[in-house]
Amino acid sequence: MPRTALSRRTLLAASAPLALAAAGCFAADDEGSTRLVLANALTPAAGLSPHSEDAFLLARWAVAETLLALDDDGLPVALLATEWTRNPDGSWDLVLRDGVRFHDGTALDAAAAANAINAAATAAAPPRVVDGLGLAAEATGDLTLRLTTTEPDPVLPQRLSSPQLAILAPGAYSGDTVDPVGFATGPYAIAESTTTGVELKRHDDYWGEPAAMDGYRADYVPDAATRVAALRSGEAHVIEAVPYAQIATLDEARLQDAPTGRTVSLYLNTGTGPLADPALRAAVAAAVDPGPVVDDIYEGRADAPEGLFGPALAWAADHRPYTLPEPAAPDGQTLALATYSNRAELPEALTVIAAQLEAAGFAVTTEVREYNDIEPDMLAGAFDAFLMSRSVVQDSGDAYTYLDSDFTSTGGFNTSQLADPDVDAAVAAVATAADGTDDPAEAAALRQAAVLDAEAVMLATAAVVPVAHERLVTGVAQGVTDVAADPRERRIITAATAIG
């Protein structure tokens, strides 16, 4: 199926530079059919390897699946595994679903599942959801699997729902390379993958309800204005991350709005530079006023910050009090601020925050790049402050993994470079909060209470300044049905999605 350049009407409507617009291609099929086109906001960073952030593309396309999924309360439910049991020694036994076939026609068995889990756990850059766990999998029968960790992990089933632990056929793995094309289990299979997007086709041997469409296309369109213009022109039918500033240009009927577990925060570098001083971090926290960001940039479709965890998580309403360090008076210290362009609101919000910090007495520089380009520098502590939109429950559905990866001294996504013994201890307490109970609901309540305790300890360090709780705004064309509104942002296209 040929791909052509964006039409002139899309480029004009977007008012975007051609270099950005060319990142996505929305031409209709030669036959003029109404084949669904999805415009994704992110481009692959690692060749669609599920061990990277690309895993969330595979999940949103309904291509890759995991051993378990999560219900609305964040508790595990069956997917490729139908049973899971915790043993007295802390290991977990799982029973796999019978009759599952990979896209290459081979059958899912315990050996294939163990291979996939072990490949993730031993990757050169392990997914943050399992980094440091010592996770290992072993087939104990044709369809039975045992998982072990260095220390007992009561939320391992929730971790197994992470798209970064997708189960692929053995053929997907070659040395350090993981190629999901033709080797996943979902209702759609990737038929073709190029630098501009993917073509997907129905997986006819899917174990569940068959896909409603025979296929569709997903294009990489990081420029938000181009995505919106394509929806308005009819050249795309579903678009991710509608920019808040352009919501008014779309019919309300085209907007799918839902709360998410995503919080925009300013992460402060506690390791080096001027913000290694807690008093100056407190000064930054005092200077940042979220009001203009929430009301103006997000057009009122975001919620004022209540902490790290917003109103999408009902259990998080009982935030604990905390006290910031006594702020110092800024005296012209230069702060290097940065963010990424994939979410249109972030550069605008950074401009507002930079002005607030300058008014408080700091000197400020700003830098904006595409996420895949800026992430290595972000994680290396190259900036004094980094504005990021972060899903606090995306990795596992359990907030512990977010706190552990982002704020502990051994965390693999510790943008703030935080190394605080009190924070480490408070987060570690979450892991053991439910010890002694086998009741899932009671265990969840105990862990959630411990998460809120740890949140207060962490916020008291002034290592991060919450700015807004985002809502998920997806653009959906008339005639398209059953597009998922997932607070965890793991699903968009499902087997039920259809176009009239």
What confidence tier does 258 reach under pLDDT thresholds 50, 70, 90? confident
pLDDT in the model for residue 332? 96
**51 phi and psi angles, rounded to 5 deg:** -80, 0
pLDDT in the model for residue 420? 97
What confidence tier does 14 reach under pLDDT thresholds 50, 70, 90? very low
Q: Average pLDDT in the 430-447 region?
A: 82
pLDDT at 210 over 80: yes
Q: Average pLDDT in the 69-82 region?
A: 90
Q: Which residue has the higher pLDDT, 265 or 30?
A: 265
Nearest-angstrom CA–CA distance, 195 and 307: 38
Amino acid at the residue 121 = A
pLDDT at 408 over 70: yes
Whether the CB-CB separation of 290 and 304 falls below 8 Å is answered with: yes
Least confident residue range of 66-80, 388-402, 485-499: 388-402
Q: For 283-310, how does the pLDDT look when each residue is reduced to its tens digit (9 = 90+)?
A: 999 999 999 999 999 888 888 998 999 8
Q: Where in the sequence of the chain do the CATH 3.40.190 domains occur? A: 8-61+186-237+477-499
Q: What is the 3-state secondary structure (H, E, C) of the chain?
A: CCCCCCCHHHHHHHCCCHHHHCCCCCCCCCCCCCCCEEEECCCCCCCCCCCCCCHHHHHHCCCCCCCEEECCCCCEEECCEEEEEECCCCCEEEEECCCCECCCCCECCHHHHHHHHHHHHCCCCCCCCCCCCCCEEEECCCCEEEEECCCCCCCHHHHCCCHHHCCCCHHHEECCEECCCCCCCCCEEEEEECCCEEEEEECCCCCCCCCCCCEEEEEECCCHHHHHHHHHHCCCCEECCCCHHHHHHCCHHHEEEEEEEEEEEEEECCCCCHHHCHHHHHHHHHHCCCHHHHHHHCCCCEECCCCCCCCCCHHHHCCCCCCCCCCCCCCCCEEEEEEECCCCHHHHHHHHHHHHHHHHCCEEEEEEECHHHHHHHHHCCCCCEEEEEEECCCCCCCHHHHHHHHHCCCCCCCCCCCCCHHHHHHHHHHHHCCCCCCCHHHHHHHHHHHHHHHHHHHHCCCCEEEEEEEEEEEEECCCEECCCCCCCCCCCCCCCCEEC
pLDDT in the model for residue 12? 36
pLDDT in the model for residue 10? 43
pLDDT in the model for residue 32? 52
pLDDT in the model for residue 466? 97
pLDDT > 90: percent of the chain: 69
pLDDT in the model for residue 25? 47
Least confident residue range of 208-212, 272-276, 484-488: 484-488
Q: What fold does the segment set 262-470 form as a domain?
A: Dipeptide-binding Protein; domain 3 (3.10.105)
Q: Average pLDDT in the 115-123 region?
A: 96
Q: Where in the sequence of the chain do the CATH 3.10.105.10 domains occur? A: 262-470
Q: Average pLDDT in the 469-489 region?
A: 91
pLDDT in the model for residue 441? 73
**Which CATH class name applies to 8-61+186-237+477-499?**
alpha beta
Q: For 411-428, how does the pLDDT look when each residue is reduced to its tens digit (9 = 90+)?
A: 989 999 999 999 999 999
Q: Which residue has the higher pLDDT, 450 or 7?
A: 450
0.85 cut: is pTM over it? Answer: no
Q: Where in the sequence of the chain do the CATH 3.90.76.10 domains occur? A: 68-176
pLDDT at 21 over 80: no
pLDDT > 70: percent of the chain: 92
pLDDT at 26 over 50: no
Nearest-angstrom CA–CA distance, 287 and 462: 12
Q: What fold does the segment set 68-176 form as a domain?
A: Dipeptide-binding Protein; domain 1 (3.90.76)
pLDDT in the model for residue 401? 82
Q: Which residue has the higher pLDDT, 270 or 258?
A: 270
pLDDT at 20 over 70: no
Q: For 134-160, how does the pLDDT look when each residue is reduced to its tens digit (9 = 90+)?
A: 999 999 999 999 999 998 887 889 899
Whether the CB-CB separation of 237 and 30 falls below 8 Å is answered with: no
pLDDT in the model for residue 384? 98
